[in-house]
Structure 1
Amino acid sequence: MLKTLIVMMFAITAGAVGDIFLTQGMRSSGDISTMGFRQIVDTVLKALTNWRLILGTAMQAVYFGLWLAVLSWEDLSVALPLQALSYVVVAFLAQWYLGENVTPLRWAGIGLICTGVALVTRSSVN
């Protein structure tokens, strides 16, 4: 179980950092919901050279590789709930790095999710 927790923490961190870079990259491209088809195509083409989007995609690939490794030895019913810990990391990074307002109610919800993860993790220890 310790191996699973360690690898999952690396995976969660890689995924969360990837999400932050992807968010920054897309926000720098503009709100595509207000764009016409031609502007969206231009934005997609520019995205292919946006270093934040490239780095975010690379971090997501690292996450995916680590996730596949965990699935090779751990029960899915244990591994999948551990992914929920990413909510903590993403909320912290979004507040700290992106300047998002993470309200106390959101933190309370994240706390409830973490309680559930602890119960699932505890149930897998024999």
Structure 2
Amino acid sequence: MNPISLFCILAGVALNATAQLLLKAGTNAVGHFDFTMSNIIPIGWRIATQPPIIGGLTCYVLSVVVWIVGLSRVDVSIAYPMLSLGYVVNAFAAWYLFGEVLSAQRLVGIGVILVGVFLVARS
């Protein structure tokens, strides 16, 4: 994989991970809610107008564009497993930004993901 192809794949992963973090920040701002017939429109509006959620959806759109460029250059059997790096990025970012727990079991899982991505990338 050449540097431009790697950049496209990693940029797609980074945009996708950023989208998830922004969506989480937006839902944190909205808070816990129950979907009922009486609140579906007010909650839907509140969700749709949260700047982090709008930013997250924008990142998703950009990630798809960058991902398509990456897929035009890299085999999907190599590119798709790279998306797993988003799990690693999000786990550490959620720990840092939102105070989520990184237990030993999660860290072992992250290690397994990293080994798997390394093996696929080297194939």
TM-score for both structures, normalised by structure 2? 0.91
1:26 aligns with 2:27: yes
CA distance in 2, matches of 1:82, 1:47: 30
1:71 aligns with 2:71: yes
CA distance in 2, matches of 1:17, 1:44: 22
Indicate the residue corresponding to 1:45 in structure 2: 45
Greater shift in the superposed pair: 56-65 or 34-43: 34-43
CA deviation string 1:1-34 (max 9, x = no partner): 13222222222111111111101111222323x3
Alignment of 1:71-110 (within 5 A): 71-110=71-110
CA distance in 1, matches of 2:51, 2:98: 17
Gaps of 5+ in 2: none
CA deviation string 1:56-77 (max 9, x = no partner): 1111111111111111121110
Aligned residues: 122
Task: Quote how far apart the aligned CAs of 1:103 are.
Answer: 1.0
State the one-letter code of the partner of 2:51: W
Q: Percent identity?
A: 30
- Cα 1:40–1:29 change in 2 (3 A) is farther
Indicate the residue corresponding to 1:4 in structure 2: 5
State the one-letter code of the partner of 2:106: R
Gaps of 5+ in 1: none
Greater shift in the superposed pair: 46-55 or 76-85: 46-55
CA distance in 1, matches of 2:29, 2:96: 18
CA distance in 2, matches of 1:35, 1:71: 37
CA distance in 2, matches of 1:86, 1:20: 11
TM-score for both structures, normalised by structure 1? 0.89
